[in-house]
Amino acid sequence: MAKEKRKWWLILVVAAFIIYIFLAARPISEETILKPRWISSLESDYPISFGETSAAENETSLPFTLGDRYGYVGDNGKFLISNIRKASPVPVYISISENHWAEYEALPSSIQVMNPMDEEVLSVENAKGYPLFLDKRIFIAGSEQNSIAEIGPGGEERWTYDFPAVITCVDAAGGAVLAGTLDGAIILLDSSGTPVFTPFEPGGSRLSIILGCALSRDASRIAVVSGIDEQRFVLMERSGDNYRVIYHEFLGSGFRRPVHVSFVDNDGKVAFEREGGIGIYDIASRACVSLPIQDEIAILDDSGGDNFLFVVTTRRAFKEKRFIVIRYPSSVVINVPFKSDSAFFARRGNRIYLGGDLTMASFELESK
């Protein structure tokens, strides 16, 4: 009889163990890591690779500015162009994008626009301003910073728009150009330089000024940080032939300098700098979260895909930078300090590029 009882107890224990395995067991969740691809010095141009690169990778290039250096780096870590910015006797300034770059002086008489292969694309004579490369287009911002002109493929002026005040921020996407001004207005121009709607003033602050602005890729939404005491975040959406405010929030007394604003996560979110940290507004859920960050934001990821947002902060007094990775909605998963006078960050899909002083490195987002 005792043996029979032990037998049934054994069966019950085994059965309970099997039920627990099927009901309580959970798969091990994947973790996202940054896998190093290469590291390269701007002085030697001999990258150390941590894996194989394909021929297609060698053909792509990424624009960069890092301290007094600028140029293009291939996806294999080799530099197509690595120039040193001149500081004397006449300071030289740089404007650079994926397709074009140009050097110019404080009062340029002409501007030579180059491509990543160091070939001249066009020359702008009697420029009367500074080159600006946005949305694969070429613009000239007026020397008094109150006008923008688009330049055609032959160096000719397609159109010019004169703003009522000094331009404080500008963005271009979807064939449109967005500008914010010192007197607190935003103006949206179409592809021919014609205003899309009457200049809009967010208002609501003691001092009106537009400190940051961004366009979604199809120009259907506008994000703005405006005003001082109090500062505001405003999100607008296209409605027929006009734009309407769909969200706004007061951000405290705010900054007295330009701030970062970006549409991220395939235009599903807006990331913006706010007093004490970063705000992330989710367009689908219409919810905004605030993530506290102590140091000044030097670089804000303008992609923000794959559920991650990357940030580089700076503490100028100590020459300290921090590389921060945020998992949506507001979890900091990486916070790494590094010493550097300057910093560079870029992102293409799941590939990350980070630079400091004379060193640049590439990483790949990988689930493991």
Return the CATH number at 101.
Answer: 2.40.10.480
Within a domain: residue 152?
yes
Residue carrying the six token digits 């140029």: 71
Say which residues have a Cβ less than 8 Å from residue 137's Cβ, sequence separation at least 6: 150, 172
How far apart, in whole angstroms, are the C-alpha atoms of residue 108 and residue 74?
30
pTM above 0.85, yes or no: yes
Within a domain: residue 158?
yes
Within a domain: residue 76?
no
Within a domain: residue 204?
no
Task: Describe the chain by its helix, strand, coil percentages, rounded to 5.
Answer: 10, 55, 40
DSSP label of 200: B
**Alpha helix positions (H), the chain:** 2-24, 55-59
Q: For the chain, how far is it from start to end, CA to CA, in angstroms?
A: 53
Within a domain: residue 106?
yes
Kindly report the number of other CB atoms within 10 A of residue 64's CB atom.
Answer: 21
Q: Where in the sequence is the domain holding 158, given as residue range(s)?
A: 86-162
Classify burial at 7, counting beta carbons within 10 Å of its beta carbon; exposed 0-12, middle 13-18, buried 19 or more: exposed
Within a domain: residue 123?
yes
Say which residues have a Cβ less than 8 Å from residue 66's Cβ, sequence separation at least 6: 42, 342, 343, 344, 355, 356, 357, 358, 360
Q: What is the pLDDT of residue 89?
A: 77
Residue carrying the six token digits 């870029």: 346
Q: What is the pLDDT of residue 26?
A: 52
Q: What is the pLDDT of residue 9?
A: 44
Nearest Cα residue to 140 out of 119, 162, 117: 162
Say which residues have a Cβ less than 8 Å from residue 127's Cβ, sequence separation at least 6: 104, 108, 109, 110, 111, 140
Q: What is the pLDDT of residue 6?
A: 44
Q: What is the pLDDT of residue 10?
A: 45
In this structure, which amino acid lies at residue 263? F
Instruction: Give the count of domains, the chain.
Output: 1
User: What is residue 60's three-state secondary structure?
Assistant: coil
CA dihedral 357, 353, 44, 98 (to 10 degrees): -100
Within a domain: residue 363?
no
pLDDT tens, per residue, the chain with 368 residues: 544 444 444 444 444 444 443 444 455 456 677 899 999 999 887 899 987 665 555 567 899 999 999 999 999 999 999 999 887 678 889 999 999 999 998 888 899 999 999 999 999 998 889 999 999 999 999 999 999 999 999 999 999 999 999 999 999 999 999 999 999 999 999 999 999 988 999 988 888 999 999 999 999 999 999 999 899 999 999 998 899 999 999 998 889 999 999 999 999 999 999 988 999 999 999 999 999 998 999 999 999 988 999 999 998 777 899 999 999 998 999 999 999 999 999 999 889 999 998 899 999 988 77
Within a domain: residue 131?
yes
| Strand pairing category for 287-292 and 296-300 | unpaired
